[in-house]
Amino acid sequence: MDNLTHTLVGLTAAKAGLERLSPGATIVCLVAANAPDADIVAAFGGSWFYLKHHRGITHSIVGTLTIALIIPLLFYAGGRIYARLRGRAPGVRLGGLVIASLLVSASHPLMDWTNNYGVRPLLPWDERWFYGDLVYIIDPWLWLSLGGASFLLTATARWRSFAWGALALVATLAFLFLPMRVGMGYPVASRALWLVCLAALVVAHRLKLATRWESRVALAALAFVVLYWGALGLLHGRALARAQTVAGAQAARQQENVLRVAAMPSLADPTRWRVLAETDRAVYRFETSLLARVEDERAAPGGLTRFEKPQGEAAELVARAARDERAQIFLDFARFPAIRVETQSCAEALLVQFADLRYTEPGAARRGGNFSLEVSLPPVR
């Protein structure tokens, strides 16, 4: 998930009661909520080094536990040093800081597991990826619930209200307009619901409801997240069953056998899911809607694209290209790789295009970032 979501989880957890465990517990919660993303330092090693290590050891069970213990120890030591310099008794409580850090740190890999990027919790012993496929990589309803609770509980001064208003404005503009710029459609009802909920939060703030409900506001927001995940889990189960039916029908037309199917969430629309299906000869990508008739989708699923796996000489070229260090990193990461071999007319070089169909497709290396790769091979003589 994005770091705004992680930060809001940390702040909401603090306001739900963790801040009472020790002075400074709120700061520890905010740091711990984002700490596993310290793997951003891998970016200094280059984009492919970063892809190899992103959501790696710092997101594993061992790494998260280690980070969750280091943070309160450092904060506790800093608090004691500061108190000694000021001639005061230390106020921070190590036990409270450790509890807060452990709980909030654990939320980070859990939140990251819920989307289709996945996590590797068993590192360093097992490099397998695990995917929740419940929530899009950013989720406005998590922003709204967690951010709304945090706003109601912390906007106690005019400057804080202004800061929250600025954040809400940026989030609203991003939610309303950015998806349209990249060609990602979602229901008008989602935008309307977002605006209605923002207005309700303003009214609740004016009525000072948080002063009466206090930590129960934060607890309600965290409970909403759990219930929201549960509802998405049920919808995902239905979408996956439908995806398997539709994928089976498409594979049967090509006389292929389905190997695996995944249904992945869309932005702000729990009724629409992107489906990726691998058969013994191809990889398929299409859209499924829980509101459509399954018979119609079996006949003609929306956005259906078929990427045939290289065979014969093309497969040998792919094997050559896969020796490239970048390709090895990419293939370890890619969940549904699609590969295409092309000839560059200008130099008659062979071009092997790799793409992770979760995010892009072959031939999109210039706009696909690390989710696609082109490896140039000398022509076969």
pLDDT of 170 > 80? The answer is: yes
Inform me whether the pLDDT recorded for 180 exceeds 70: no
Most confident range (mean pLDDT) of 141-155, 165-179, 364-378 is: 141-155
What is the average per-residue pLDDT within 301-311?
93
Using CA atoms, how far apart are residues 378 and 381, in angstroms rounded to an integer? 9
The confidence score (pLDDT) of residue 84 equals: 81
Write down the pTM of the prediction: 0.92
Q: Each residue of 77-126: pLDDT tens digit?
A: 988 887 788 777 778 899 999 999 999 999 999 999 999 999 999 999 99
Cα(109)–Cα(126) distance, rounded to whole angstroms?
16
* Predicted confidence (pLDDT) per residue in 252-293, tens digit: 999 999 999 999 999 888 999 999 999 999 999 999 999 999
pLDDT: is 175 or 119 the higher one?
A: 119
Instruction: Lowest mean pLDDT of 138-147, 202-211, 356-365, name the range.
Output: 356-365
What pLDDT, in 10s, does the model give residues 183-235? Answer: 566 678 888 899 999 999 999 999 988 888 889 999 999 999 999 999 999 99
| Mean pLDDT within 60-70 | 96
Residue ranges covered by each domain of the chain: 1-127, 234-308, 313-377
Q: Reply yes or no on whether the pLDDT at 177 is more than 90.
A: no
Residue 360 burial (CB < 10 Å; 0-12/13-18/19+)?
middle
Indicate the length of the chain as a whole number.
381
Strand 350-356 to strand 372-377: parallel, antiparallel, or no bridges (unpaired)?
A: antiparallel
pLDDT given for residue 378 in this prediction: 81
Q: What are phi and psi of 268, to 5 degrees?
A: 60, 20
- Distance (Å, rounded) from C-alpha 205 to C-alpha 198? 11
Beta-sheet pairing, 337-343 with 302-308:
unpaired
Instruction: State both tokens at 68.
Output: 């969750």
Share of the chain above pLDDT 90, in %: 72
Contact 130, 115 (CB under 8 A): no
Which pLDDT score is estimated for 7?
97
Report the run of H or E that residue 283 belongs to, with start and end: strand 282-289
Tell me what pLDDT residue 19 has. 95
Q: How many CB atoms sit inside 10 A of residue 127's CB? A: 11
**Tens digit of pLDDT for each residue in 320-336?**
999 999 999 999 999 99
Nearest to 103 by CA among 19, 159, 183, 24: 19
The sign one gets for the Cα dihedral 101, 104, 109, 112 is negative
362-371 contacts at long range (C-beta below 8 A, 24 or more positions apart): 362/307, 362/338, 369/47, 370/47, 370/48, 370/50, 370/51, 370/330, 371/334
**What is the pLDDT, as a whole number, of residue 16?**
96
Question: What confidence category does residue 52 fall into, taking pLDDT thresholds of 50, 70 and 90?
Answer: very high
Q: What share of the chain is helix, strand, coil (3-state, %, to 5)?
A: 60, 15, 25
| Alpha carbon distances (Å) from 329 to 52, 53, 121, 127, 283 | 6, 10, 18, 12, 20
Burial category of 327 from C-beta neighbours within 10 Å (exposed 0-12, middle 13-18, buried 19 and up): buried
Q: What is the mean pLDDT of the chain?
A: 91
Question: What is the C-alpha separation between 24 and 364, in angstroms, rounded?
Answer: 47
Alpha-carbon distances, residue 175 vs 23, 144, 179, 274, 340 (angstroms): 36, 11, 7, 20, 34
**pLDDT, position 346:** 52
Q: What is the model's pLDDT at position 114?
A: 96
Three-class SS state of 229: helix
Q: What is the signed CA dihedral for 287, 291, 292, 298, rounded to 10 degrees?
A: 60
